[in-house]
Structure 1
Amino acid sequence: MTKTTFKQPLLDHNSPEFKTAKQAEAALFNVYNLTGTDTYYQLPDSDMRVRVTEIGSGTPIFIVPGNTGDGFPFSSLIGHMGNHHFYLFNRPGGGLSDGIDLTKLPDIRQFVVDTIDTVLNDLHLDRVPIMAHSMGCHWALWYALAHPERVSKLILIGNPGRVMLGKTPAPLKVLTLPGLDKIVSKRLIPKNQDQAFNGLKLMGTNKETLATLPNELREAYLRFEHLPNYSVSTLSLLKTLTVNPKYEIKAADLAQIQCPTLMLWGENDTFASVDKGREIGNALPDNRFHLVKDAGHMPWLDRPEECAGQVELFLQ
C-alpha cells in the first residue's frame, strides 16, 4: 500500500453535515426501494476510512462511481436491476468516505490500485465484474491493468476520465487556474435545491429528465456537496488526474485490457464527443459500444431502463 505522508482530511461521522447527507441518501434509496448496509474499511498505512454500501443479493457487481466518488447517483440504475449484490464503493474524497487531497500523494496510480485491492480483499471478492462511471472508469481501468485476474468484466459509463483525452476540456481547465479554482468551485456548489442539478445540466442531462428526477436526488446532491471535504477533494482531483497528461490512459494501455468491456456513452456527453467514445471503444480488444440517444454524461439518469437492460445483457 502506498503510504500517505500526511494527515488526510477525515470526515467527522458525528457532524450535522454527515448525518444530514446520510439521511438524504437514505431517502433517495427509499424512492427506488433500496436498502443499504454500510461498512467502513481502514486503508493500510493510513488513517483513512472508505465506505462500501451493500445493496441487494445475488451475483456480485462492484461499483466505482465518478466525480469525487459519490455513490448515490447510481440509485436509479441499481433500482432498475435485480438479482445482484451491489457493492457501492465510495471513492476516497466522495460519498461518506474520508476526504482526500490527491496532490499530496507520491504515487496516485499505485494508491488507486492498492485501495481497490484492499477493499476487494476485505469483501472477499476474488474475481468480480466492475461497473464504473467517469473518473471511476479511470480507476477501474488502472486496476484491471494491474490485476487482470480479479476483473471478470468492465462496464464503463460516460467519458472514462482522462482516457485518450489529449486536450483538457476547457471547463475543467478553468477550474485548475490559480486564483480562479477556489472561486469557481465555490460558485458551483449549490446553495439550495433549485441549484442542485446545475452540474447535471453542464454534463448534458436533458431538460425533460431534469424536470422529472425526484426531489430526493436534488437533496442528496445539495447535502453531499456541502460536506466539509468536498472542495479539497474535487480541486485536488481536477489538478491531478483530470488535467495532468502523465496520468492519461492511452490506446496502447487499453490494448492490454484482458476482460470483455461494455461502454455506455450518452449522445450529449459534454466531456467528449461520440466519435471519441467510439475511438476509445475500438482501442479495447473485446468491447461492445452502446450509444444512449438523447442522454448526457450520466446516461442512466436519462434512460435507466435502457442502460440497465444493456448491463444485464452484457453480464449474461
Structure 2
Amino acid sequence: MTYQQPRLDHESESYKTAAQAEKELLAVYGLTEKEHWFTEQKENLRIRVSEIGEGAPVLVVPGNTGDMFPFTPLLAQMKDHKFFLFNRPGGGLSDGMNHEKVAIRPFIINLFDQLLAELHLEKVTIMAHSMGCHWSLWYAMARPERVEKLVLIGNPGRVMLGKTPLPLKMMVKPVIGEHAVKKMVPKDYDHALNGLKMMGTNEDVLTNMPNEFRECYYRFQNLPNYQESTLSLLRAFNANDQNEIKAAELSALNFPVEMIWGAKDTFATVEKGQEIAAAFPNCQFKLIEDAGHMSWIDQPEICARLISQFIN
C-alpha cells in the first residue's frame, strides 16, 4: 500500500485559526499576501507559496519546518521586492511531512524544480534561513544555473558540522526524540516564544513584539502535523553524517553568496560561520551584533539594509 503523507485538513478549526492569526500578523506590518497552491506530484503534497510585495522576485526558504510568518518583520522593511515564500512541507499551512519516508535529497531537488516551474522562475535569488539554507544549498549544487544569488541567514543546517552534536544525537533516539519535540510545543501563549529565546533572540525584543506574532507561534506549532514533521526532519538529517554538506561542495558554487550571522546564534559559533563563509569562492560574511539565530527579529533594519544592498 502506498504511504500517504500526513494531510492538513483545511476545514479544521486548527487550520482556520492559524490562517487567521497569520493574516492578522501581516496586517500589523502593512503586508498583503497572494496565495499560490500546487501539488507535489510524487508524494501528493499540497504546497503553499505566499507572494508578498512588488519588484524583483526573491524566493524565501524558511527554516525549521517551513513557516513563513516569522519573516514578516524583515519583509516590512523591504517593500521594494517581490517575495515568494516557500511554505515547506511540514509547515506554513502546507501539508505535513514525514521526511523519513522519502529519499530526502532527490526529493528536495525535484520539489524545487517543480516550485520554480509553478512560479515561472527560470533563475532566481534565494534567501534562506537555517534548515532552509541546507535545502537551498542542495538545490544550488544540483542546479547552479538556476541561482542568481544566495542569502544564507543563521547557521545553515548540517553544513561543515563535523560530528553530530550530542543534543541532536539524542533527538533522533526513539522515545527521547518524541518527548523532546512534544516539550517544544507551547502549551499556552506565555510560552509561545520560548523557542526563540533558546535560539539567542533578545528577550526585550520578544517582549515588544506584537501579540499577533506570539499568536502565530502558538497556533502554527500546535497544528496537528507539527510534531511529526519536526522530529522526522531532525532524524532525516542527523541520523548519520551522510547528509552533511562539505567545504569542497561549497567551493564549487561560483555565484555571489551573503551570510548573515547573529553574534548570539546558539546553534554554532561565529568562528564556524566564518569558516563556512570562507569555503565559498564569492561570499560576504556579515556579523549582526546583539542578534540570535533569527537575526532579523533582533535587528530588522540592519538585516534589511544588508540584504537589500546585496541583492540589488
TM-score range, shorter chain: over 0.9
Give yes or no for contact 2:172–2:238 (8 Å, CA) kept in 1. Answer: no
Letter in 1 for 2:16: K
> Equivalents in 2 of 1:129, 1:21: separation in Å?
29
Alignment-derived partner of residue 99 in structure 1: 96
Alignment-derived partner of residue 9 in structure 2: 12
**SS of residue in 1 equivalent to 2:306:** helix
Alignment-derived partner of residue 34 in structure 2: 37
- Alignment TM-score, normalising by the size of structure 2: 0.98
Alignment-derived partner of residue 264 in structure 1: 260
> Equivalents in 2 of 1:98, 1:227: separation in Å?
11
**SS of residue in 1 equivalent to 2:160:** coil
**SS of residue in 2 equivalent to 1:308:** helix
Q: 1:311 aligns with which of 304, 307, 312?
A: 307
**SS of residue in 1 equivalent to 2:44:** coil
**SS of residue in 2 equivalent to 1:26:** helix
Letter in 1 for 2:233: L
Overall identity of the aligned pairs, in %: 54
Give yes or no for contact 2:69–2:216 (8 Å, CA) kept in 1. Answer: yes
- Alignment TM-score, normalising by the size of structure 1: 0.96
> Equivalents in 2 of 1:76, 1:294: separation in Å?
17
Letter in 1 for 2:18: A
Letter in 1 for 2:159: V
Kindly indicate whether residue 293 of structure 2 is the aligned counterpart of residue 293 of structure 1: no
- How far off its partner does 1:87 sit? 0.2
Mapping of residues 184-223 of structure 1, within 5 Å: 184-223=180-219
Give yes or no for contact 1:169–1:271 (8 Å, CA) kept in 2. Answer: no
- Paired residues in the alignment total 312
> Equivalents in 2 of 1:247, 1:89: separation in Å?
22
> Equivalents in 1 of 2:150, 2:65: separation in Å?
20
In structure 1, list runs of 5 or more residues that go unmatched.
none
> Equivalents in 2 of 1:15, 1:21: separation in Å?
10
Give yes or no for contact 1:54–1:86 (8 Å, CA) kept in 2. Answer: yes
**SS of residue in 1 equivalent to 2:245:** coil
Alignment-derived partner of residue 46 in structure 2: 49
CA 1:285–1:158: 2 relative to 1, 3 Å: same
**SS of residue in 1 equivalent to 2:309:** helix
Cα distance per residue 1:64-108 (max 9 Å; x no partner): 000011110000111110211110110111111111101111x21
Alignment-derived partner of residue 241 in structure 1: 237
Give yes or no for contact 1:161–1:242 (8 Å, CA) kept in 2. Answer: no
Alignment-derived partner of residue 56 in structure 2: 59
Give yes or no for contact 1:81–1:308 (8 Å, CA) kept in 2. Answer: yes
Give yes or no for contact 2:201–2:293 (8 Å, CA) kept in 1. Answer: yes
Alignment-derived partner of residue 163 in structure 1: 159
